[in-house]
Amino acid sequence: MPRNNSEIRTRFAPSPTGRLHLGHVLAARVADALARQSPAGKFLLRFEDIDAPRVREIYYQNIIEDLEWLGLHWDEMPLRQTTRTAAYEAALARLLGKSLVYPCFCTRREIQDEWANMAAAPQGPEGPLYPGTCRRLAASEREAKIAAGTPHAWRLDSQLAATITGPLTFHDLRFGTLAANPGLLGDVVLARKDIGTAYHLAVVVDDAFQQITHVTRGEDLLPSTHVHRLLQVLLELPEPEYLHHPLVLDEQGKRLAKRHDALAIAALRESGQTAAEVLARVNAEFQPPLRTSWHR
Ligand code: GLU
């Protein structure tokens, strides 16, 4: 469907693996507030539910109830990533056709052993990176393992991919234009052994599918954006704008996690807080910049 170039489309993309907490409210609120800056803007809801072992049916409903209680109304039908498997497979097949992904047979244990044996394991922002073991396998070895039914993930050959795309940038409404470092997270998994897909691939494919113009999310996911930019170019998908917002921190300055039950929306509601109070609390944490101040 053709759409006006100035129409902003954002999404809130929770995983139905737990209840929403204050951090999610900030994420949803930022996406909503940004979309409402354009008259025909759309705020979409996407359930990132590919992690089947951790997803529980009850959480879809809980998320909807919490958003409704907060008065955050999404447009269009919520999208469940579990309905999008064919699109992820097609994207992976495309990368495979360009020899940019390779099967990885390593177990977690084998990767840890490899790190232990290295003089210096390659480091990323969240710890050591995959050492590239299976990238170095001969084609005949790969074929033999696949023929033998050895379980495998698919990893992006990030260095090869970067040589194809050349230097890339992305633009964040808070941080400005940043140079993408495609190797920042190493050879990331694009299809997990157990579920056949993975976050980085699914998010990039779906942001394009849902015509998201502005990807808003917590700044903890900033490293992922470097990989996403690379994938967007490889898959010839449009480049969205980004807004990585600060995280809501607890009293100890640590980021909120599912274990912070006291800050779950349901708990705040039951303790007598109103939706207006909860929203005021996250609004005080951060608000998206107003459109007049955006520049590239
Ligand atoms: N599903 C992710 C989360 O729950 C959000 C991913 C994204 O916004 O790109 O934090």
Tens digit of each residue's pLDDT (9 = 90 or more) over 230-250: 999 999 999 999 999 999 887
198 alpha carbon to ligand 1 midpoint, in Å?
12
How many domains is the chain partitioned into structurally? 1
79 alpha carbon to ligand 1 midpoint, in Å?
13
Q: With 80 as the cut, is the pLDDT of residue 96 above it?
A: yes
User: What is the DSSP code (8-state) at residue 120?
Assistant: S
Range of the domain at 137: 5-294
Mutate to test the pocket of ligand 1, among 217, 219, 225, 229 (most ligand atoms within 8 A of CB): 217
pLDDT band at residue 257 using 50, 70 and 90 as cut-offs: low
**Model pLDDT, residue 1:** 42
Compute the distance between CA of residue 77 and CA of residue 83 in angstroms, rounded to an integer: 13
Mutate to test the pocket of ligand 1, among 10, 47, 48 (most ligand atoms within 8 A of CB): 48
Compute the distance between CA of residue 212 and CA of residue 215 in angstroms, rounded to an integer: 7
The owner of tokens 């849902």 is: 210
pLDDT band at residue 259 using 50, 70 and 90 as cut-offs: low
**Model pLDDT, residue 45:** 98
106 alpha carbon to ligand 1 midpoint, in Å?
26
Compute the distance between CA of residue 102 and CA of residue 134 in angstroms, rounded to an integer: 7
**Model pLDDT, residue 272:** 96
Tens digit of each residue's pLDDT (9 = 90 or more) over 59-81: 999 999 999 999 999 999 999 99
Tens digit of each residue's pLDDT (9 = 90 or more) over 3-43: 456 799 999 999 999 999 999 999 999 999 999 999 999 99
Compute the distance between CA of residue 28 and CA of residue 46 in angstroms, rounded to an integer: 11
14 alpha carbon to ligand 1 midpoint, in Å?
6
119 alpha carbon to ligand 1 midpoint, in Å?
34
Report yes or no: 216 and 41 within 8 Å, Cβ to Cβ: no
Secondary structure, 3-state, 262-290: HHEHHHHHHCCCCHHHHHHHHHHHCCCCC
Tens digit of each residue's pLDDT (9 = 90 or more) over 167-215: 999 999 999 999 999 999 999 999 999 999 999 999 999 999 999 999 9
Atom 5 (ligand 1) nearest CA: 13
Q: With 80 as the cut, is the pLDDT of residue 261 above it?
A: no
Compute the distance between CA of residue 252 and CA of residue 296 in angstroms, rounded to an integer: 36
**Model pLDDT, residue 74:** 98
Read off the pTM.
0.94
**Which secondary-structure segment (H or E) carries 63?**
helix 57-70
- What average pLDDT does the structure give for the chain? 94
Q: Extract long-range pairs of 196-201: CB within 8 Å, 24+ residues apart.
A: 196/85, 196/88, 196/89, 197/50, 197/85, 197/88, 197/89, 197/92, 198/50, 198/153, 199/48, 199/50, 199/224, 200/156, 200/224, 200/227, 200/228, 200/231, 201/88, 201/91, 201/92, 201/231
> Residues of the chain with pLDDT > 90: what percent?
90
Q: With 60 as the cut, is the pLDDT of residue 166 above it?
A: yes
Compute the distance between CA of residue 268 and CA of residue 220 in angstroms, rounded to an integer: 24
Compute the distance between CA of residue 96 and CA of residue 148 in angstroms, rounded to an integer: 20
**Model pLDDT, residue 6:** 73
User: Which atom of ligand 1 is least distant from the CA of 48?
Assistant: 1
Q: Give the CATH number, domain containing residue 160.
A: 3.40.50.620
**Model pLDDT, residue 2:** 42
> Residues of the chain with pLDDT > 70: what percent?
96
Ligand 1 binding pocket (C-beta < 6 A) is: 13-15, 48, 203, 217, 221
Compute the distance between CA of residue 240 and CA of residue 222 in angstroms, rounded to an integer: 14
Q: With 80 as the cut, is the pLDDT of residue 161 above it?
A: yes
Parallel, antiparallel, or unpaired: how do β-strands 241-245 and 214-218 relate? parallel
